[in-house]
Amino acid sequence: MEYRYGTAVSPGIAIGPALVLDTEGVRIPNKLVPADQVDAEVVRLRGALDDAASEAREKRQRYTARFEPAIGNIFAAQQSAFEDPSFRDRLEHLIRTQTYSAEYAVSRGIREQVKKLEEAQRKVGDLAASEVLRRRAGDLIDLEKQILSTLLGQVPNAVAPLGGDRVVILANDLMPSDTADFSPRTVWAFATESGGPTSHTAILAGALEIPAVVGVGRFLTDVSGGDMIIVDGNEGKIILDPDEETVRKYEAKRIAALNRADRYDALRGKPAVTHDGVAIRLLGNIELAPEAAHCADRGAEGVGLYRTEFLYLNKSSDPTEAEHYDAYRAVIDEIGANRPVVIRTLDLGADKFSSVSGLLSVEKNPFLGLRSVRLCLRKVDLFRTQLRAILRAAAHGDIRIMFPMISTLGELRQCKTLLNEVKEDLDEAGVPYKADIPVGTMIEVPSAAILADVLAREVDFFSVGTNDLIQYTLAADRNNEHVAHLYDPADPAVLRLIRTVVEAAGKAGIDVNVCGEMSGEPLYTPLLIGLGLRSLSATPRKIPEIKRVIRQLSVAEAETVAGQALSMDTARQVQNLLRDQLRRILPEAVE
């Protein structure tokens, strides 16, 4: 049994057999073949190695002619490896003694060596030597990939489609093409070696509500297809080869969570109204159209934040207007034409990366750099494309538009000017769209919060993005372990800014919503309502829990909590206060 730690990106617990995808998403088929197929399997292996060797030979000739012998020699060396009797004996031995499939023998045989290099890498203190070893491991994985693709190419049927038993998907990272067919019916969980909270895998897992842990570091060399594995998406760990007791313990946790979900299910049809009769609007945060259905399922009134970055991720070109439009229409189709959908324009940069050409250069200080709306105002064509699609889609539903990362009034005005220009273009072209689309701005930079009264005159609504607001207010990156402790939603400085924003919105008579992670944490629900918020937007799975807190709370109580919190000096004091409150209101949510 072995524990590995990564970043928890989608909560939940899963226990199931591993399905290992290699870096290119090739499924490594079953581990074993029947004993009477061993000879045939050896023949397959030899054929694949011969093919891989002749392919390498051709490449060597081609590249030597085009470049220089040193480049060609890379392929010469690969050819030698494929032809090497010692290597071949080793793999054939694995097939004959273990009845491994050819694919599995290749993977296992090579990964054993990769592991050896990784162990050596851990031992050397020297950075240069470590890099030398890392590159060698990369060379070996490249060999593995080539042989596997030859093997799988020969016998395409060796790759059975996903189906039957549910599996835990393990991969270096997942590409959109790998994940197209994944669903909670076929996949228990994901765990990947690379990737962070904003990686494709993380976003997808969140959207599908499949437990996931990313950024685990190299572990695929230690797992074989079919091995039992536990993924703990709550705490960001995976357990390889768990013992029986551990399986029992996690199975109990999993069932407890399912029971909790069932209990909240009963709340679906009930309104989000406080004890003393004040209605709170609950909305969902989404990134993909199917999640809009989750919002409706969980009793959300609409979509409070539709993040559109996913349209740009992992693509070789910018999304077209049609792609934008189709995506937005799909959300309307999922949730219904009369429910609000707040579309946030592109918020790319800093922690989110795209392969969109020429978009991002290396910045010294990306969080204070050309990101989000700043990027859009620089890449105006890109921005116009999105604005056109939003305006057109808005003709078919209750779509609202929201600009992220606004830090000055000038920026907001530039965005609005551009929006008006796009409207004029649509008018001229005679394309139907919604002229009076509500326009809002995110409040996530302290300057915007401080100037909220000024910004409020220019928009129809505010949405407080707490993640960035907290990070910029406290100048602390929560992903940086050295300063993460400073990042605290309960910090009195943050609370004062939120209060300022809510008051400014109230005076101007515009809506204000909170859409950061803070609004999805039951701990902060009484505080936010006490601060005057009547609209919260959270990840769909959190909505029943938030609703439960709301229904057991009175506004008077909430205001008392907020008043006390605002009078406190430190985040720690506020945290203690909020925990005490929540323990009273919803004991099972406090752990």
Partner 1 sequence: MAANGRTGNGETGGNGPLRRTVKVVNPLGLHHRVADRFSRAARQFAAAVAVFHGDSRADGKSVWDLMMLVVLPDAEVVVEVDGPDAAAALDPLAAILGSPGGEDYTI
Is the CB of 135 or the CB of 263 nearer to partner 1?
Answer: 135
Smallest gap from residue 108 Cβ to partner 1 (A):
15
Q: Tell me: is residue 62 an annotated ligand-binding position.
A: no
User: For the chain, what is the total number of helices (H) and then of strands (E)?
Assistant: 21, 16
Please pick, from the candidates 24, 50, 84, 265, the single residue that binds partner 1 as defined by CB under 8 A: 84
Smallest gap from residue 71 Cβ to partner 1 (A):
11
Q: Tell me: is residue 478 an annotated ligand-binding position.
A: yes
Please pick, from the candidates 34, 66, 86, 482, the single residue that binds partner 1 as defined by CB under 8 A: 86
Angle of helix 69-83 relative to helix 85-98, nearest 10 degrees? 40
∠ CA 323-328-332 to the nearest 5 degrees? 145
Smallest gap from residue 132 Cβ to partner 1 (A):
5
Restricted to residues 21-80, the positions that interact with partner 1 (CB under 8 A) are 69-70, 73-74, 76-78, 80
Restricted to residues 108-127, the positions that interact with partner 1 (CB under 8 A) are 113, 116-117, 120, 124
Q: Is residue 200 among the annotated active site residues?
A: yes
Is the CB of 142 or the CB of 251 nearer to partner 1?
Answer: 142
How many Å apart are CA 240 and CA 1, to the nearest integer? Answer: 6
Q: Please give the C-alpha separations between residue 417 and each of 159, 347, 380, 413, 421, in angstroms, as whole numbers.
A: 54, 19, 12, 6, 6
Structure tokens at 446: 């302290």
Is the CB of 88 or the CB of 499 nearer to partner 1?
Answer: 88
Q: Which amino acid is at 115?
A: K
Quickly tell me which residue has 């054993």 as its tokens. Answer: 112
How many Å apart are CA 287 and CA 515, to the nearest integer? Answer: 13
Smallest gap from residue 429 Cβ to partner 1 (A):
59
What φ, ψ does residue 585 adopt, rounded to 5°?
A: -80, -45
Q: Tell me: is residue 344 an annotated ligand-binding position.
A: yes
Is the CB of 9 or the CB of 94 nearer to partner 1?
Answer: 94
In terms of Cα–Cα distance, which of 494, 479, 453, 458 is closest to 578?
494
Burial class (CB in 10 A: 0-12, 13-18, 19+), 217: exposed
**DSSP code for 90:** H
Q: Is residue 482 among the annotated active site residues?
A: no
Residues contacting partner 1: total by CB under 8 A: 27
Say whether residue 135 binds partner 1 (CB under 8 A): yes
Burial class (CB in 10 A: 0-12, 13-18, 19+), 289: buried
Smallest gap from residue 124 Cβ to partner 1 (A):
7
Is the CB of 15 or the CB of 114 nearer to partner 1?
Answer: 114
Per the annotation, where are the binding residues? 307, 344, 444, 467-468, 478
| Residues annotated within a binding site for Mg(2+) | 444, 468
Annotated binding site for phosphoenolpyruvate: 307, 344, 467-468, 478
Residues identified as active-site: 200, 515
Which residues sit at the interface with partner 1, rule CB under 8 A? 69-70, 73-74, 76-78, 80-81, 84-87, 90, 113, 116-117, 120, 124, 128-129, 132-133, 135-136, 139-140
